[in-house]
Amino acid sequence: MEEPARSEKKPTPYWNPYVAGVALGTVLFTAFLVSGSGLGASGGVARLVVQGLKSISPSMVNQNHYFAGMGGGHANPLNNRIVWMVFGAMAGGFVSGMFSGRLKAEICRGPQTPPGLRLVAAFAGGCLMGWGAAMARGCTSGQALSGGAVLSLGSWVFMLMIFAAGYALAYPLRRLWI
Amino acid sequence: MFPLQLSGTVDVLTTVLIGFAFGFVLEKAGFGNSRNLAAQFYLSDMRVLKVMFSAIVTAMLLIFAASALGWVDFERVFVPPTYLGASLAGGAALGVGFIIGGYCPGTSLVALATFKWDGLVFAFGVACGMLLFGLMAPSLMTFWTTAGALGRVTIFEWLGVEAGIVVSAVLLMAIGAFYLAEIAEARIVWAKPPVAGRPNSPAFLRAAVACAFAAAGVALVWGQPDVQRKIAWNQAALDSRIQSRSVFIDPAELLHLIHNNQVERLLLDVRDESDYNVFHLKDAVRTTIAEIDQVWVKSIRPEQVVVVMSNDEARAVEAWKHLAVHRGINAYVLAGGVNRWCEIYWAGNFEAPGPEFPASGDDRFRYADAFAKAENPASQLLLVRFSPAMGDRDTAARPGTEYLARREFQTKIRLLRAVKAPGGGCGG
């Protein structure tokens, strides 16, 4: 019996979204139980940025209100739970991808989108996301999921705004995805 | 009582494990692929809404039911502070970034972990966007820190209703949204991602909804714990702080605090109105324990140092407990109360006992007659009605700076937040 080659293995189906949601909610609840705070992601990226800046120019970090809060002076920007969580998340994503047959080097894009355009859009979208996450002090994981679960007023405003803005631009940008 | 207070390696390990589970579930849900995520905005695949709202509602129900039952101390749960301006601006940027880029920071990390090039490029973009924000920080700082800044506030606190009501409303809203999502997915066919998820299992959905209503019911019926319950849970910790006298500050330390222009202070006087009108410290506000629960705890900020005082200590300690169960409140008790204050700064006995010595009185104001006589020895008739403004006429209400060196003390006050030196400091 021939074993199919790795690249020909059909990926396993995704979990049912409600099942995945309840599972994610349970992980989120566990995070609260264990630490008092929820999940997050953008903070980890921010701290990596601060660490990178600090190794080039510590004074730039110290004199900047935004960066200093994360790693000014003697503080180590990477010594923070959000950083450990981000590394754990990448490991978890990798392992799940591995067992599900979804470890495939590719560019996910809409059927009519050339790869180059997709990458430019990914970078542009990422910049907007990064700026917005810094502004909002969190992203969909930290603010919308975690802040939403504890009914923080600002988090819900943030979450509704994300959906509103996304839907508003969906039709004009449909060539990217449909 | 949850949340736990982990530290050190255990803390790091549990955080990594939780992160692992987080990333694992995201990938299993299909969130490592931008096509799945973007499809949300074309209504043909609603998994983002289903996963996010199921997750939020699951965690919300578990937290608030557990809090109602006394298993989780909601005071120690992190509620991201509300900055409405920043939320609107950031949310708009994120929404646009989502539809253009197809990921959010967390999902882009999962995507790059599964070798997606667009995920890697997106994550790099996130880093650049954050750098850009930092470079723009000086001009954005005022907006970022003050626009619509309401502090730690939940929807139910903002509306002034019971938490259980909002919890139930959110649950009903989510169920309604899921119902509409199912209809949308059946009717709208463009932008369907290539790989579907597992189909819905009616048995699972029925069980989930039943549990959800049960949890919402618990939250509604039991309700969030009131102050008396919180004091009861924290009994041991509060009592040990009281026994060790670590929360009692010397009158001399209070005098230093009064003359310190860099620290925000709030002096709460919980004595009877009659005592307060005869004599009170100059900036002390008269209040009651009920008023503390209903009004003060909502407005006190962590930067403020709060000092509670009564004639001796009994009533001040009780009031202090009502403040101390709140995480963002830095409160102390004036050792020996107003009686000892007057003994030092009115009667001139600078060798009065230090804060290690509890007050031995019955919480009556022992200097009432002395003040009354000093005020107007001739006419006792004027003593019938005192206005509060007369209560701080005596110099003992605010001893001058020349008194600062007359008595030594051990510093007990610790600031919860570092004080920013005016003009200068890191980044001004």
Q: Name the range with the highest mean pLDDT among B102-111, B274-283, B385-394.
A: B102-111
User: Considering only CA atoms, which of A117, A99, A132 is closest in space to residue A176?
Assistant: A117
A85-99 pLDDT per residue, tens: 999 999 999 999 999
Q: Do A93 and B76 touch (CB under 8 A)?
A: no
Q: Do A128 and B97 touch (CB under 8 A)?
A: yes
In this structure, the number of other CB atoms found within 10 A of the CB of residue B75 comes to 16
Of A18, A132, A176, the CB nearest to B205: A18
Is the CA virtual torsion B257, B260, B264, B269 positive or negative?
positive
Phi, psi angles (nearest 5°) of residue B270: -100, 25
- If one counts every other C-beta atom within 10 angstroms of the C-beta of residue A120, the result is 14
Mean pLDDT of B356-383: 70
**What average pLDDT score do residues B322-328 get?**
87
For residue B428, the model assigns a pLDDT of 28
Question: pLDDT value at position B379?
Answer: 43
- Give the distance from CA A148 to its chain's centroid: 16
- Quick check: B82 and A45 CB within 8 A? no
Two tokens at A133? 């996450």
Dihedrals phi, psi of B412, to nearest 5 degrees: -110, -25
The answer on pLDDT for A1 being more than 60 is no
pLDDT at residue A67 in the model: 93
pLDDT greater at residue B326 or residue A156? A156
How far is the alpha carbon of B420 from chain A, nearest alpha carbon, in Å?
12
A177 and A96 in a single domain? The answer is no
Give pLDDT tens digits for B105-156.
999 999 999 999 999 999 999 999 999 999 999 999 999 999 999 888 999 9
Q: How confident is the model at residue B414 (pLDDT cuts 50, 70, 90)?
A: confident
Residues A84/A89/A91/A92 CA torsion (nearest 10 deg): 140
CA-nearest residue of chain A to B23? A89
Query: Is A7 a residue whose pLDDT tops 60?
Result: no
**Three-state secondary-structure class, residue A21:** helix
**Total tally of structural domains belonging to chain A:** 2
Domain range for A152 is: 107-178
Q: Are residues A86 and A162 in the same domain?
A: no
Cα B353 versus chain centre, distance: 36
From A105, A137, A161, the end of a domain falls on A105
Cα torsion B213, B218, B223, B228 to 10°: value is: -160
Question: Does residue A6 register a pLDDT over 70?
Answer: no
pLDDT for position B381: 43
Residues A40 and A126 in one domain: no
Please check whether residues A92 and A129 belong to one and the same domain.
Answer: no
Judged by average pLDDT, the poorest of B148-157, B242-251, B371-380 is B371-380
Domains of chain B, CATH where assigned: 8-226 (no CATH), 230-406 (3.40.250.10)
* Residue in the block written with tokens 């850009």: B132
User: End of a domain among A76, A105, A134?
Assistant: A105
What is the rounded radius of gyration, in angstroms, for the C-alpha atoms of chain A? 19
> Based on the domain organization, do A62 and A113 belong to the same domain?
no
pLDDT of residue B207: 94
> Best interface-test mutation with B: which of A45, A57, A66, A129 has the largest number of B CBs within 10 A?
A129
**Cα gap B83→B146, rounded to integer Å:** 7
What is the rounded average pLDDT of the residues B253-281? 91
> Mean of the per-residue pLDDT values for chain B?
88
- Asked if A41 lies within 8 A of B105 by C-beta distance, the reply is yes
The reply to whether A90 and A38 lie within a common domain is yes
B35 vs A contacts (CB less than 8 Å): 108-110, 177
Q: How confident is the model at residue B421 (pLDDT cuts 50, 70, 90)?
A: very low
The answer on pLDDT for A53 being more than 90 is yes
Indicate if A55 and A127 belong to the same structural domain: no
Between chains, do B20 and A91 touch, taking CB under 8 Å as contact?
A: yes
CB nearest B16 (choices: A22, A87, A167): A87
Closest CA to A57 of B134, B425, B139, B133: B134
How confident is the model over B215-229, as a mean pLDDT? 89
Q: In B, which residues are within 8 Å of A166 by CB distance?
A: 40-41, 95-96, 98-99
Q: DSSP secondary structure string, B90-101?
A: HHHHHHHHHHHH
Give the span between the Cα atoms of A127 and B358, in whole angstroms.
60
**Phi and psi at residue B348, to the nearest 5°:** 85, 15
Mean pLDDT across A72-86: 91
Cis amide bond preceding A11, omega within 30: no
Within this chain, do residues A97 and A170 fall inside the same structural domain, yes or no? no
Q: Is A10 exposed, middle or buried (0-12, 13-18, 19+ CB in 10 A)?
A: exposed
How far apart (Å, rounded) are the C-alpha atoms in residues A113 and B394? 81
Residue type, A121: A
Statement: residue B385 has pLDDT above 50: no
Tell me which residue of B317, B345, B347, B346 sits closest to B332, measured CA to CA. B317
B408 pLDDT higher than 60: yes
- Asked whether the beta carbons of A103 and A94 are under 8 A apart, the reply is yes
- pLDDT of residue B423 exceeding 70, the answer is no
Q: How far is B290 from chain A (nearest CA, A)?
A: 26
Residues of chain A neighbouring B26 (CB-CB closer than 8 A): 24, 89, 92-93
Nearest to B25 among A27, A91, A159 (CB): A27
Lowest model confidence (mean pLDDT) among A27-41, B44-58, B369-383: B369-383
Contact A122 B121 (CB under 8 A): yes
Closest approach of A76 to chain B, Cα-based (Å): 15
Give the distance from residue A161's alpha carbon to the nearest chain B alpha carbon, in angstroms.
5
A117 and A94 inside one domain:
no
CA distances (Å), origin B140, targets A30, B135, B148: 35, 10, 14
CA angle A128, A130, A135 (to 5 degrees): 95
Interface size A-B, in CB pairs within 8 Å, comes to 568
Q: Which of A84, A142, A164 sits opposite B19 (nearest CB)?
A: A84
Q: Which of A71-80, B24-33, B115-124, B129-138 has the lowest mean pLDDT?
A: A71-80
Residues A94 and A134 reside in one and the same domain: no
Contact A25 B102 (CB under 8 A): no
pLDDT of residue B375: 56
- Per cent of chain A over pLDDT 90 is 84
How distant is the Cα of A117 from the closest Cα of chain B, in angstroms? 10
Please give the Cα distance from B1 to A150 (Å, whole number): 18
Cβ atoms of B64 and B219 closer than 8 Å: yes
Q: Give the minimum alpha-carbon distance from B335 to chain A in angstroms, rounded to a whole number.
A: 33
Interval B29-38 mean pLDDT: 93
Distances (CA, A) of B226 to B67, B74, B301, B419: 11, 11, 20, 32
In this predicted structure, the answer to whether residue B417 has a pLDDT above a threshold of 70 is no
User: Same domain for A67 and A94?
Assistant: yes
For testing contact with chain A, the best of B1, B7, B22 (most A CBs within 10 A): B22
At residue B380 the predicted structure's pLDDT band, cuts being 50, 70 and 90, is: very low
Output the six-digit token pair for A83. Answer: 């950083």
For residue A176, list chain B residues with Cβ-Cβ distance below 8 A: 38, 99-100, 102
pLDDT band at A122 (very low <50, low <70, confident <90, very high): very high
* Residue B358 pLDDT: 86
Pairing status of strand B149-151 against strand B82-83: antiparallel
What counts of helices (H) and strands (E) characterise chain A? 8, 0
At residue A148, what is the residue type? G
Band (B96; pLDDT cuts 50, 70, 90) = very high
Q: Which residues of B touch A26 (CB under 8 A)?
A: 58-59, 62
* Inter-chain residue contact A108 with B127, CB threshold 8 Å: no
Per the model's pLDDT, the better-predicted residue between A6 and B223 turns out to be B223
**Nearest residue on chain A to B201, judged by CA atoms?**
A16
Tell me the average pLDDT across B205-215: 95
- What pLDDT shows up at residue B195? 73
- In a shared domain, residues A127 and A175: yes
Which of A31, A19, A118 has its CA nearest to residue A81? A31
A38 contacts B78? CB cut-off 8 A: yes
- Specify the amino acid at residue B281: L
Contact B88, A157 (CB under 8 A): yes
pLDDT of residue B425: 32
Mean pLDDT of B381-394: 58
Task: List, for residues B306-318, the tens digit of each pLDDT value.
Answer: 999 999 999 999 9
Q: What is the pTM of this model?
A: 0.81
